[in-house]
Chain A
Amino acid sequence: MKTKHNLFLRLFGFGTAAAILAVSLFNIKLAVRAVDTTLQEDGGLKQLVQNVKDEYINGFRPKHAFIELNGLFARLTGRTVYNQVAALSNGMLINESVGDMDTDTAAQKLAEFADFTQNSGARFVYVQAPYKLDMQNELLPQGLNNLANARADAMLENLSRLGVETLDLRPYICRDSDTLQQYFYKTDHHWNTAGGFLAFTKICQYLQIETAACDFSNWSVQRYDNWFLGSHGKRVGSLYAGTDDLLVYTPNFKTDMSMYIVNHNRVKSGDFVSTVMDTSYLDKKDYYNHNSYCMYIGGDYQLVKHRNPDAASNPRVLVLKDSFTLPVQAFLSTAVTELEVIDPRYYTGSSLAEYVAAGDFDVVIMLLNPWSMDGESYYDTGSREAAVYQTQTECLVQEQQSVSVQDQPYTLCQLQNGAMYRLKVRSVSTDSRGVVAAVCDQSDKIVSSHLFDKTYLQAANGDDFGFVVPKQGNFTLCFLNRGEEDTLQSLQGITLYQNK
């Protein structure tokens, strides 16, 4: 009896020791890297300790298997709130709490911005995206403090009182448990493709943008089962609350568009899939390294410009966004000819008000969900400082029939600090999608830019690039060749206006 007992104990003892040793060796490079980093930083023991801790926390393998095991244990032991994630009574995951915010001040600032926008000739609409919670908070576990809906209610009420146009999407998308499950991912904080599409149709309806893109029968749907583990799911593992199916909507109608990701100086063009989708998220299922929600647009960029000559509707639309806008942005790019999208959280260009003043937009939309509503960047619009541009008038400063660009950038002219300009181009001849016009500083760093899309220019008989020059530094306006090094690119009908 004792012998067998000892045998199992020895099996346990030596087996576990061997397993620990194996895992240690498997992760030994973490320690090596920590030592290496410490030596490079000339750090002492304290620095080494911190580096080792950081390396092991961030790089320990097999990390994801342990996250899954942990989630399973949490589920089996009855946890409904765990690792900053809470489970609604219908099984969907939300973040543990959303606190209060000062909507009075925020609404005041937005009202100021709305006035500015209207004085610039554009309509301003605040669009309230839903939080992943039913409007009555009935699905919330008792004891959890989630003021997302309260924030949204207060903001909408304040904006209405101040005369700002608002569109509340919540009644369509998070009315109750059924709509929540239909339009939101279970494991992510975002709405799903169906939710984004519904939002897009409601926005078009509200703005009276008539487009065949709003008709769902013009779209094909492909389903990827159990493809996506969302932001909340990554914290608790797929064994805690499951995974999400991915619905991919692609248009049945013809599309030929461009998307210019400005701060990356990257152009995507062609049909809908090639332009506004990142299909790498559809090639391979990867719960922890992929954020499949970003299959539309690819992620949150500070400034993106869409041009679509085939769109039926012509308004120039500017959207000030958070991450909820991604699918909406993709669908909206099929409905309007000119769409520009700024994420104020990351935007480092001129102020939002300056951008609106220079951009000559017809509609400015701010689309926010309650969780990101408290971001300061949405309300720091620079409206008061930019008011000066609204009293100026446009004056022609330069006109050229054509300009040729080869391997080196072509400098059109020197720019005046703090001035607002508008560059108009009638057409381009190039083997790439278009030619980029850029405001560059003396070290050739681009501070703002615009793609003159060849196809769009042809259809629209021209396009323009409005910009404000920074107040400090030395800046020029240039054209950059996007084709092969020795290919000739040319632009026709160039006019430059300055507001004075």
Chain B
Amino acid sequence: MLFTSLEFLFLFFPLVFAVNYLLPLKWQNYWLLISSLFFYAWGEPVFVLAMLFSIALNYTGALLISREDRTTQKGQRRAKAILVVTLLINLSILFVYKYMNFTTKTLLMLFPSLNTLFGATEFVLPIGISFFTFQALSYVVDVYRGEPVQKNIAYVGLYVSLFPQLIAGPIVRYTTVAAEIVDRRVTRDDFCFGMYRFFIGFNKKMLLANILAQAADFAFGQSVLSTGMAWIGIMAYTLQIYFDFSGYSEMAIGLGRMLGFHFLENFDYPYISRTITEFWRRWHMSLGTWFRDYVYFPLGGSRVKSRARLVFNLFVVWLATGVWHGASFNFILWGVLYGVIITVEKLLALPKKLSNKPLAGGFYQLFTMLMVMFGWVLFRAVDLPSAMQYFKALFGMSGLLWDGNAALYLQNYAFMGAVGVLCSTPICRLINIRLCKTRKGAVISGIVGPAWQCILFLISVSYLVMNAHNPFIYFNF
């Protein structure tokens, strides 16, 4: 089920929340678990089995780890073995559903003789499997690292499957919500602020992401692309993916808050980043920190003896990041590209060096933004050849600088594009902070903000009613 659907807004949402508030806490958890599983089953019922298996597997793994006597060598070894087995099973499931098709196709392409042994597979990807698998993995690893285990399987199930962040993140650590699962109160401010965040995310998704998606989809769907249209397309996509994903995260955070859960922020205006390193501290923060805590740090992080080891660690993390995003060479190249740039920035200590040099810093900020946009070409294109075609068009090598399509799409999407650019900066937040310094300003801010979001929400709902374009990019994960 999508948050941005009529059936969620006007059926699931009021029903689940209304019943939730009427129930005592203990029963709330069971109600939310059932609702979350139903929410997941709405997309494809059979995938709930994969979800339930993941819950059972990770609950069992964590429980077994917690029962080992870690003060003894034997206990420690067994705990580690259980951890490894649990991790392997989790990753195997992820591999089968997400990467098997790509792997078999690639092997058959490289070694056609293998055709006699196996054919290309066609597994269907359960929605959100990357998110909930990583979430469940983090629980098991945290228990291994000493966090208290949750003995109630329903509570573990709730953590893994809680519908606000189930399908598209943010990736929530168990420690973030452990206390709230067991004991939480929803204050009036939690409810109202949660609703406000939900509205903001909803409006971002419907009015910015979905509208700009039309320009991006057109550009990326053309076989003959002018340079002008290519740039319009990539700018539209840059904004689309940000508002799509950050919008969904905000909705998740808002809904979570309305239920008494406080998820961490997932985006912090990534497009104002001055370096790629900074970009990944502002973009999809829950994934970045996950890889940092569960891959980079265990490999040694930056505190390693040799530069070669540092480069290796970064390479592994960024290769994994690329692979996490998708099973294709595009995503691998995308991840490796970021890995290379971040490695260079780290080795040259660029972020620190540029911090006192406004002009150089400014140029590098522009370079950062361009690299991010070029990365999105790899991300969006269906395959490498298409990505290369797109790059050719961007750099004026398609033979057509400007055409009627570019004029048409510029005319139709310039306004929303400009709004998107504005909203991707913290300007509104800064204005709000400024206003709130005075009593009158705070009152104005208090009225205008919510009122404006209400108006935008009505317009967003009108798009749902029109059954307009409503794709969500990160559903492939």
Contacts and interface: CB of A to CB of B under 8 A. Distances in A.
Interface of A: 1, 4-14, 16-17, 20-21, 23-24, 27, 31, 44-46, 49, 52-53, 56-57, 60, 63, 66-67, 69-70, 73, 77-83, 141-144
Interface residues of B, number: 55
A355 B278 CA distance: 77
A23 B454 CA distance: 15
Nearest to A52: B7
B260 to A, nearest CB: 14
B41 A23 contact: no
Interface in B20-73: 41-42, 45
Given A16-B454, A44-B45, A67-B466, A56 B415 contact: no
Nearest to A140: B404
A70 B11 contact: no
Contacts of A44: 45
Contacts of A8: 443, 446-447, 450
A27 B466 contact: no
Interface of B: 5-7, 9-11, 13-15, 18, 41-42, 45, 188-189, 191-196, 199, 403-409, 411-412, 414-416, 436, 439, 442-443, 445-447, 450-451, 453-454, 457-459, 461-463, 465-468
Contact of A78 (B14, B406, B411, B463): B411
A67 B6 contact: no
Given A4-B446, A24-B10, A143-B404, A10 B192 contact: yes
Contacts of A13: 188, 191-196
Nearest to B191: A13
Contact of A143 (B42, B405, B462): B405
A78 B416 CA distance: 9
A14 B193 CA distance: 10
A428 B328 CA distance: 79
B408 to A, nearest CB: 3
17 contacts: A4-B446, A8-B446, A8-B450, A9-B189, A9-B450, A13-B192, A17-B195, A23-B10, A24-B11, A46-B45, A56-B6, A66-B458, A66-B462, A66-B466, A79-B412, A80-B408, A141-B411
A14 B14 CA distance: 12
B439 A1 contact: yes
Given A8-B446, A49-B42, A69 B458 contact: yes
Contacts of A49: 42
A5 B446 contact: yes
Contacts of A60: 6, 10, 465
Nearest to B410: A143
Given A57-B6, A69-B458, 7 more contacts: A13-B196, A14-B188, A24-B11, A31-B7, A60-B465, A70-B462, A78-B415
**What DSSP secondary structure best describes chain B's contact surface?**
helix
Nearest to B8: A56
Nearest to B48: A45
A151 B376 CA distance: 40
B459 A69 contact: yes
Given A5-B446, A52-B11, A80-B411, A144 B404 contact: yes
Nearest to A62: B465
B443 A4 contact: yes
B410 to A, nearest CB: 9
B455 to A, nearest CB: 9
A292 to B, nearest CB: 23
Contacts of B459: 69-70, 73
Given A13-B196, A31-B11, A45-B45, A4 B442 contact: yes
Nearest to B404: A143
B440 to A, nearest CB: 9
Contacts of A23: 10
B11 to A, nearest CB: 6
Given A9-B193, A12-B192, A142 B408 contact: yes
B146 to A, nearest CB: 39
A141 B7 contact: no
Contacts of A53: 5, 7
Contacts of A11: 450
Contacts of A77: 415-416
A35 to B, nearest CB: 11
A406 to B, nearest CB: 54
B253 to A, nearest CB: 15
Contacts of A7: 446
B450 A12 contact: yes
A69 B467 CA distance: 14
A143 B407 contact: yes
A56 B458 CA distance: 16
Nearest to A71: B462
B409 A143 contact: yes
A432 to B, nearest CB: 47
Contacts of B458: 66, 69
A12 B195 contact: yes
B189 A6 contact: yes
Nearest to A9: B192
A53 B6 CA distance: 8
Contacts of A57: 6, 467
A232 B195 CA distance: 36
B462 A78 contact: no
A431 B209 CA distance: 67
Contacts of A82: 412
A229 to B, nearest CB: 15
Contacts of A45: 41-42, 45
Given A78-B412, A78-B415, A80-B411, A67 B462 contact: yes
B445 A5 contact: yes
Nearest to A25: B14
A121 B65 CA distance: 95
A66 B461 CA distance: 7
Contacts of A143: 403-409
Contacts of A81: 408, 412
Most B C-beta atoms less than 10 A away, residue of A6, A12, A67, A141: A12
B14 A20 contact: yes
A81 B405 CA distance: 12
B263 to A, nearest CB: 18
B465 A21 contact: no
B311 to A, nearest CB: 47
Most A C-beta atoms less than 10 A away, residue of B414, B436, B461: B461
A73 to B, nearest CB: 5
